[in-house]
Structure 1
């Protein structure tokens, strides 16, 4: 069926071209005009009911086809009008007679008004909007691409979702670019309709006088009806298509179709209806005004506004009642009586793994009843984190805190405050990624997740900021990004013994032998938890739990030091580590000079608890200072500095550096796959 429809559309386009050449009988022309009007009405309704412009991405091509169809019908009708003494079908005759209504002059004036309104107002406006939309859409593409990259890097979306969003941006740019050109078809069609109208009237009058032998009055009557009728049956579909063009290029961001949006947004302001009703009623009191129209209409508007206000109050009361019903038991009884039960006191000792507290101005940002997608974004981040790191983010407890600044929020890990931020709900955060083409007014601030200088801007400046090259982020994305970065930094603290047990249960479903052989026979649950936490602490994914267990089964029987076991596991996960930190088949690193490594090796001491580094503080300061200088030199090339060391030195250098600089990645040669090219950008020395 689909194949037949595809071929039918292709045949229809070919037949439209033949309309220009092949004469049509009057009856067939009537059928074609009915099809034309029906098709135009369908297109207009489709543009009203779509939620996004890309849902009707074939509109530019449809615009060309319908324009060609109308021109073909115009040529066919002109041929009949000039050759059949104005007899061009019943549709044209009926339209012409209805509009003229026995008065040729008035009828022609009405017809010209319809044509000029369609040409000057709707077509011209749609053309201008399409032109501006195309330019702004193309200019905003870089900023939208950077916003997608930011969401991808923060874990809010996965690679597949990023790919879909990039394709949508590309399709949107192509759509508005096509619409910019397609509106020229509508403009040309309107001009051609006016020209054909004059040709039909003047040419028909001349032919009727010369060849028909009828009186001038009869000729004028016949050809005026035919001309006006032909113009109307062409202009009404053209008017519908022009309106559809303006409709589709003026649609803003929306979650529903046009009718639903208009109804919801008008009904959301009942006070406006009341004031409008009162104003209309007052106008009806002016002497001479038809008060019997103004006053009832004003009263109707005021009554509608009053009923809407009452409905909103009832909904708020119902929501408050539901909240009161769901309130915890301790709010309904005396506090002293409640805590007399010792079990209720123990409930106070429970600590949430992750907790967020918000000022009261930020509550709509996380309240699902207010249309917030906060929970959905959390779920999306949990999924992305599990895929990337192999660990599951625990539940996040959300609370309001009346002691906080209204625009402030804090993030707690195991009951202790780790980070805080301040956001403006009705604003957007504009980050300067470097190389912006202009400045924009806003409230200066610091992006909470990465500490980047940025500005809070109003919604009306959003598109301008994207054109200038700023990365524009909505407030909800700012909070989610901050939370994701905090979770990534403290993932090793969030990994509990219960989480380790669930990971092993997952592996046990398809590799029971491996799990039972290693845990707890070779290594204990606590030892495995420590090793997994060590990996997460340095950003190494633990998703390949089988490789981790197999490595431990090889080395754990003879080695009890969990730090050393972690190093062997890291080397076994070298493909995972290489994939994460390499780019385009190469990895850019900062290396340690052989003298630096020799000094570190000579400072390694052992005791009963294991090995530790006993290095002179002045030497540590010199090494760290030289390293920071190297990082500053290469910061334009690599965002996250990677220090490459020998396998023996890596663990001790990592312990030393984490006290001074936590944003670096420490890798050893044995942790990099042989297929990746190593590019050394700087070398840390003792000089």
Structure 2
């Protein structure tokens, strides 16, 4: 706790101390300590910029740069006060003025000017430009990054918490580069201030030495100029380190390693380059007058390093070949291996050889999308679909994929490499192959990926090929959910209900209903895309109905009745349930014609009446579609299963609800059509 409080007040106390440096004189020994702290602080910051993996790991750098610059300027004021007032500013400045430059004013001035040129013209100017460009590019890329995060969130690839974290990182990155753009101006201003301060100190020192201390001009110049140059060197060395740190932090990319590891790995990736450089050093050693020993040491060192890299590459290639050979070695034809090859997978996606790139393992590849799809379907329907096996097949035509359930092909489509599917809009002017979208039957065109923007300008909806495959897979899974629900799935779901509501399970299975009978009911619900998330309510309804009858149709209707509000809510449009009803006279005739069969209740009407009923329903559905509605058929509860069997195939699976299900949701009901017998028979 004490350490936390100390670190919290350290910076504010330090800033107050810096302000005191500008006002209160400090003794020479304390100035020595502060100068050493300044140099080491700059060195620590420089080393930290080298070891961080990405700039945001050192996000405090802009503020730290400002504090360090202010600290250095405070030391300049304190040292100037001592140099001009006492002619002595501590051992550090004295040593730099005499030892570092050999006591020579000319050498000291030249070294100081060189440091200033390096800092101001080379490092600071470059860092300032990089920071400016980085800030502009980061701000320009923010909308695209935010859209990418939203797309990943909508696709289910990331959670809400991950999306918030990534948005925060994008915002922090923009703030960091914006701050660095401004902080780089501190470094530039510091360099200019260093030049001005040293000139003022030289002029002021000579004036004080001649006027106040009575020294001749030579003595005054020798004494005060050396101290001023020492003071300048003491200030410019940490200033140069901070300038290099600024350039280092703004030129770092978001790598997963520190700078030293990245640099050594990338510089050593070409042994040929190192070998050529080593040979060049050996050749240069033969030039008359050149230091032979130095060139020989460097050249031999580069060649030795290149040979070590070659040996490493050879060993890596040998290990890789051994691994590939081990994989290629046919496994023994054991019974277990043959059984594994015989096993039929519940869900499979077969890809033509030219489509295997979509399972490359990138963040938006097919495998990641399928994983997100399984989670979404589990949330929507209430059970986890089996894993999707993905493999290539040389039997498929180019750019073709096939989706299989239990070894049977349920759908096939195209996903050509390097192209996007454009739907709608005016695509006649764009190159590409015309196609029909496999799920909704929409006409479109596969256009080159580089023409995405042009296709969007025409008003078309542009979909990447992985999204096409996943959408097709989602449609097939939803349509065949009943086939995918296995007995083991039902057992796992039942055990999950038992943990939270044991009474509902104990009253239902194994008596009066077996697990197989429960599976049949759940499959019946999924066949009509009724979610089975609320298993506890379903089991309670089944246990009551099973005391009266264990007929599967009656059990399914009892479960639907218990889920009435949830069933109807799936078909709401803007809070309204739009329905097609049956004429009362026709409904009564259908009730009288209903007969129980082995396949469930059937409406045994004559063929002509059947055709007229279906034709009337088709006309009503078409009229509602023209108005932009997706209606459902509503009928008496006793007729609902039979009506669904009657109209399912001709209408493409229009939902059929009972009156009790339609009114359970307590929503507005809008009748958009009526099925009548008065429809004329087509000629």
Structures share a fold, TM > 0.5? Answer: yes
CA drift of 1:642 comes to 6.5
What is aligned with 1:497?
487
What is aligned with 2:502?
512
What is aligned with 1:54?
56
* Corresponding position: 1:202 with 2:203: yes
Residues 366 and 372 in structure 1, CA contact (< 8 A), matched pair in contact too: no
* Corresponding position: 1:27 with 2:29: yes
CA drift of 1:63 comes to 2.3
Residues 359 and 408 in structure 1, CA contact (< 8 A), matched pair in contact too: yes
**Separation of aligned partners in 2, 1:204 and 1:79:** 11
What is aligned with 1:168?
169
What is aligned with 2:607?
none
Residues 358 and 401 in structure 1, CA contact (< 8 A), matched pair in contact too: yes
What is aligned with 2:256?
255
Q: Which runs of 5+ in 1 are unaligned?
A: 436-440, 632-640
**Separation of aligned partners in 2, 1:135 and 1:598:** 73
Q: 1:37 aligns with which of 36, 39, 44?
A: 39
**Separation of aligned partners in 2, 1:239 and 1:445:** 63
| RMSD over aligned Cα atoms | 5.1
CA drift of 1:350 comes to 0.9
**Separation of aligned partners in 2, 1:126 and 1:146:** 30
* Corresponding position: 1:352 with 2:345: yes
**Separation of aligned partners in 2, 1:280 and 1:207:** 55
Deviation string, structure 1 residues 257-289 (Cα, Å, up to 9, x no partner)? 222222333334434434444555556666666
Q: 2:619 aligns with which of 611, 618, 622?
A: 622
What is aligned with 1:80?
82
CA drift of 1:151 comes to 1.9
Residues 582 and 635 in structure 2, CA contact (< 8 A), matched pair in contact too: no
Q: 1:22 to 1:670 in 2, by over 3 A?
A: farther
State the TM-score, normalized to the length of structure 2: 0.76
Alignment of 1:412-431 (within 5 A): 412-417=404-409, 418=411, 422=415
Residues 352 and 401 in structure 2, CA contact (< 8 A), matched pair in contact too: yes
Alignment of 1:307-318 (within 5 A): 307-318=308-319
For the residue of structure 2 that corresponds to 1:196, the secondary structure is helix
For the residue of structure 1 that corresponds to 2:178, the secondary structure is helix
Q: 1:618 to 1:207 in 2, by over 3 A?
A: farther
What is aligned with 1:188?
189
**Separation of aligned partners in 2, 1:71 and 1:312:** 52
CA drift of 1:540 comes to 5.7
Q: 1:21 to 1:170 in 2, by over 3 A?
A: same
CA drift of 1:472 comes to 12
CA drift of 1:6 comes to 0.8
What is aligned with 1:529?
519
Q: 1:510 to 1:187 in 2, by over 3 A?
A: same
Q: Which runs of 5+ in 2 are unaligned?
A: 604-609
**Separation of aligned partners in 1, 2:117 and 2:668:** 70
Deviation string, structure 1 residues 97-136 (Cα, Å, up to 9, x no partner)? 3443343233322212222322233223222222222222
CA drift of 1:577 comes to 7.3
**Separation of aligned partners in 1, 2:282 and 2:170:** 49
**Separation of aligned partners in 1, 2:558 and 2:247:** 65
CA drift of 1:210 comes to 1.7
What is aligned with 1:71?
73
**Separation of aligned partners in 2, 1:672 and 1:79:** 90
**Matched residues, number:** 649
Q: 1:551 aligns with which of 532, 541, 545?
A: 541
Q: 1:285 to 1:202 in 2, by over 3 A?
A: same
**Separation of aligned partners in 1, 2:135 and 2:383:** 44
For the residue of structure 1 that corresponds to 2:257, the secondary structure is coil
What is aligned with 1:438?
none
Alignment of 1:348-497 (within 5 A): 348-357=341-350, 386=378, 390-401=382-393, 412-417=404-409, 418=411, 422=415, 491-497=481-487
Residues 424 and 461 in structure 2, CA contact (< 8 A), matched pair in contact too: no
Q: 1:187 to 1:345 in 2, by over 3 A?
A: closer
**Separation of aligned partners in 2, 1:193 and 1:350:** 79
For the residue of structure 2 that corresponds to 1:355, the secondary structure is strand
For the residue of structure 2 that corresponds to 1:155, the secondary structure is coil
Deviation string, structure 1 residues 343-374 (Cα, Å, up to 9, x no partner)? 76554431122334566777788688x99999
**Separation of aligned partners in 1, 2:129 and 2:646:** 63
**Separation of aligned partners in 1, 2:518 and 2:67:** 68
For the residue of structure 1 that corresponds to 2:212, the secondary structure is helix
Q: 1:144 to 1:96 in 2, by over 3 A?
A: same
CA drift of 1:30 comes to 1.6
Deviates further, 208-217 or 548-557: 548-557
For the residue of structure 2 that corresponds to 1:100, the secondary structure is coil
Structure having greater relative contact order (Cα 8 Å, sep ≥ 6): 1
Residues 578 and 669 in structure 2, CA contact (< 8 A), matched pair in contact too: no
What is aligned with 2:606?
none
CA drift of 1:568 comes to 5.6
For the residue of structure 1 that corresponds to 2:507, the secondary structure is helix
Q: 1:77 to 1:423 in 2, by over 3 A?
A: farther
Deviation string, structure 1 residues 389-447 (Cα, Å, up to 9, x no partner)? 543343444545566689876654433454566576xx9x9999999xxxxx9999999
Residues 112 and 233 in structure 2, CA contact (< 8 A), matched pair in contact too: yes
Residues 630 and 684 in structure 1, CA contact (< 8 A), matched pair in contact too: no
Deviates further, 553-562 or 42-51: 553-562
Residues 581 and 673 in structure 2, CA contact (< 8 A), matched pair in contact too: no
**Separation of aligned partners in 2, 1:194 and 1:471:** 61
Residues 602 and 645 in structure 2, CA contact (< 8 A), matched pair in contact too: no
* Corresponding position: 1:591 with 2:582: no
Deviation string, structure 1 residues 450-473 (Cα, Å, up to 9, x no partner)? 999798769xx99xx9xxxx9999
**Separation of aligned partners in 1, 2:511 and 2:18:** 81
What is aligned with 1:634?
none
